[in-house]
Amino acid sequence: MRTDRILLCTVLAALLAGCGDGNLILKVDVLSYMQPSQTSVAFGPIPATPGGFSSGEVALIDDQHINLLTGMSDVAMIQAVTISMTTVSVDSTGSGEDTLRVYLSDEATDPRTTIPVILQTLVFQPGVSDTASVTVDGDSRVAQLFAGKKVRLTATTSLHGPASGPALNGRVHLIALDAVVVARHSKF
């Protein structure tokens, strides 16, 4: 195990030394850590009620532990992290909206006790499919999390049904959740 860590640190140091300004850019496909069943949710029927029915926050991805590069903080400092999420929402009947939230935390903290990193509102209209993307950049708290060995992630959905008319039925599918990490050699 120690040999693996030394080898990783050596490789990262060589990569960083070869980068023009000492930056290393890593793209982390967060969805690759998930099972397909964790990235899609069908819902309904959500009946019409005056003021609209709210399902409350329900976990789509519940407290997923994501292992990061061990030993990276020994040779590089995380400069920035950009998180991007793309969803597809499909409405078969009714109307309403959903609020998707993505929470990230260190390995000792329950993600849902933190402020959401991503907050995305989806609007449902009968028979309409919609693709929505959101990007979060420059959050120093997120950059600090990616300097650790493990990140915990929870994604929730919170549906709001129609105030009147047909019940809301549909599906939300998470098709991309990526983190781009920019690190700089700690000796530069």
Backbone angles phi, psi at 151, to 5 degrees: -120, 140
Domain boundaries, the chain: 2-185
- Cβ burial of 142 (10 Å; 0-12, 13-18, 19+) is buried
Instruction: Kindly indicate the confidence band of residue 53, based on its pLDDT and cuts at 50, 70 and 90.
Output: low
pLDDT at 154: 93
What integer best gives the mean pLDDT of the chain?
Answer: 82
- Beta strands 76-93 and 129-137: pairing type? antiparallel
Instruction: Kindly indicate the confidence band of residue 32, based on its pLDDT and cuts at 50, 70 and 90.
Output: confident
**Nearest residue to 40 via CA among 10, 11, 19, 61:** 61
Tens of pLDDT, residue by residue over 103-128, are: 999 999 999 999 999 999 999 999 99
Torsion angle in degrees (nearest 10) through CA of 135, 91, 101, 150:
-80
3-class DSSP assignment, residue 78? strand
How far apart are alpha carbons 57 and 76 in whole angstroms?
37
Tens of pLDDT, residue by residue over 141-177, are: 998 898 888 899 999 988 888 888 899 999 999 999 9
pLDDT at 72: 57
